Amino acid sequence: MRKNIVAGNWKMNKTLQEGIELAKDLQTALSGKKVKCDVIVCTPFIHLASVNAVIDGQTVKLGAENCADKASGAYTGEVSAAMVASTGAKYVILGHSERRAYYGETGAILKEKVKLALENQLTPIFCIGEVLAERESGKQNEVVKKQIEESLFDLSAEDFGKVVLAYEPVWAIGTGKTASSAQAQEMHAFIRQTLKAQYGAAVADNTSILYGGSCNAANAKELFANPDVDGGLIGGAALKTDTFLPIIEAF
């Protein structure tokens, strides 16, 4: 059966020292606690190896926020999937709307990143989601379906089974405006239906689909109670243990 997951996306926050402290703090807070979901922290590249040293990889798991679309070579400033994996990280966020909007990441580029992540035994946390104008014109399903199709649907069923999806409506990210519980469930059910049509019921049922966008302690319980919402990808509220822990405990 699919897993419940709460993943933190630190984005471009925290110095190395602050990041190590936060990871240590979370590891300590969760140690010996029975939680009903996998907990992942996705950190900037430079934090990965140091954070990996202060978490146990079980109570708290590690991921990156991105990786390159090339395997290796003369790509100054880029970080490959193999390099990410060599730090001990097991996950990588790909296709975040901030990468798509500010760094020109297209569906075709993301398809390469997904392939390289899987080749390096990293689990992609693949983000999809519509902007406000698309939601207002009723195009959200079409947009999300296309994002999934163009970057993921060339994968075999076996490989697709290794992917985690995160639905993040762009209008809800960092805005304090969350999708309603009904809007989230409706989209997640549509995504699962889309997966079922392509890969069959078993793959669709086993895929974890997370919600992201102003998810916090106050709304997590209601969001996660939906049958097709398998957890959250958390931005702002993941930057402090005090605000992240109650989201984890919402399960």
Of 96, 130, 134, 188, which one is the catalytic site residue?
96
Segment contacting ligand 13P by CB under 6 A, of 26-34, 82-90, 183-191, 207-215: 207-215
**Rounded CA gap, 251 and 248, in Å?**
6
Please report whether residue 44 would count as binding ligand 13P according to CB under 6 A. Answer: no
Question: Is 168 noted as a catalytic residue in this protein?
Answer: yes
**Distances from the Cα of 112 to the Cαs of 7, 42, 68, 101, in angstroms?**
23, 20, 9, 18
Q: Which of 83, 87, 88, 128 is nearest to 105 (CA)?
A: 128
Please report whether residue 231 would count as binding ligand 13P according to CB under 6 A. Answer: no
Please count the other Cβ atoms lying within 10 Å of the Cβ belonging to residue 136. 11
**18 Cβ contact list (under 8 Å, min separation 6):** none
User: Binding residues for ligand 13P, how many (CB under 6 A)?
Assistant: 14
**131 Cβ contact list (under 8 Å, min separation 6):** 97, 170, 171
| Shortest Cβ 239–ligand 13P spacing (Å) | 9
Which of 4, 5, 6, 9 binds ligand 13P (CB under 6 A)? It is 9
Which of 109, 173, 184, 245 binds ligand 13P (CB under 6 A)? It is 173
Please report whether residue 124 would count as binding ligand 13P according to CB under 6 A. Answer: no
Which of 69, 212, 229, 231 binds ligand 13P (CB under 6 A)? It is 212
**Rounded CA gap, 51 and 67, in Å?**
17
**Residues in contact with ligand 13P by the rule CB under 6 A:** 9, 96, 168, 173-174, 212-215, 233-237
